[in-house]
């Protein structure tokens, strides 16, 4: 299992669970972030065609704002396991421990160490990227197809110029700053400094 989109400012966090066929080796599986988009897409197609089972789950931005990104990521991972058509014997999770009934092993940097976690990473990433490309046409001007909702300089510029959409994560500091919801820290520090000097 793996999830993507934890660090994004916009859109859902997406998790995938994949049970690979031990008799069919898919070459080139690795952390989805290290793969070129066309390679990811090609591998995602192979994974879907040749795995024993896979499932995808997501948690939207409103829910992320409600429970925070950590718990939203765990919820998406648990849901992906629940949606598998076959109950797994053992779950390998990239760095998380989740609430599932079967045995599990959390592996730090699991997408670099486990073929099944890498496969889940690729399925989750290509699924979320497709959502971002679709949102790019629904909400023009933000260039979601390019930055995929992550806090790139381009995305932060768009936030400042256009404001946040209904699908931006309002619990995230950069979105709150763009909306003017956070106090100006410099003035707070200035007040403290003046008080200290006066005392």
Q: Residue 77's domain is classified under what CATH number?
A: 3.30.420.10
Residue 4 burial (CB count, 10 A): 28
Range of the domain at 70: 2-138
Q: Does 152 fall in a domain?
A: no
- φ and ψ of 4, to 5 deg: -135, 155
Number of structural domains (the chain) is 1
Q: Does 29 fall in a domain?
A: yes
Distance CA 18, CA 117 (A): 8
Asked if pLDDT for residue 188 goes beyond 50, the answer is: no
Q: Does 23 fall in a domain?
A: yes
Q: Which of 100, 89, 167 is nearest to 128 (CA)?
A: 167
Q: Does 150 fall in a domain?
A: no
Q: Does 192 fall in a domain?
A: no
- pTM (predicted TM-score): 0.88
Helix ranges, 25-109 (H): 37-50, 61-67, 69-83
pLDDT digits (tens, 9 = 90+) for 16-48: 999 999 999 999 998 888 899 999 999 999 999
CA 126, chain centre distance (Å): 11
Q: Does 171 fall in a domain?
A: no
pLDDT digits (tens, 9 = 90+) for 98-133: 999 899 999 998 888 999 999 999 999 999 999 999
Distance CA 19, CA 17 (A): 7
DSSP state of 14: E
């Amino acid at each position: 299992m793996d999830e993507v989109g934890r660090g994004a400012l916009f859109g859902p966090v997406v998790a995938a669970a994949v049970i690979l066929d031990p008799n069919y080796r898919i070459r080139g599986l690795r952390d989805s972030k290290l793969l070129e988009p066309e390679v990811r897409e090609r591998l995602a197609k192979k994974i879907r065609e040749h795995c024993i089972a896979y499932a995808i789950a997501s948690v939207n931005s409103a829910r992320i704002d409600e429970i925070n990104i950590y718990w939203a990521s765990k919820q998406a991972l648990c849901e992906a396991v629940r949606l598998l058509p076959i109950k797994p014997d053992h779950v390998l999770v990239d760095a998380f421990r989740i609430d599932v009934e079967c045995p599990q092993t959390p592996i730090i940097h699991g997408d670099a160490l486990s073929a099944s976690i890498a496969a889940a990473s690729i399925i989750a990433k290509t699924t979320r990227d497709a959502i971002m490309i679709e949102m790019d046409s629904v909400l023009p001007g933000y260039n979601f197809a390019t930055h995929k909702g992550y806090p790139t300089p381009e995305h932060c510029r768009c936030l400042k110029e256009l404001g946040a959409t209904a699908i931006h994560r309002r619990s995230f500091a950069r979105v709150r700053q763009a909306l003017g919801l956070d106090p100006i820290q410099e003035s707070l520090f200035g007040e403290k400094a003046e008080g200290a000097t006066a005392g």
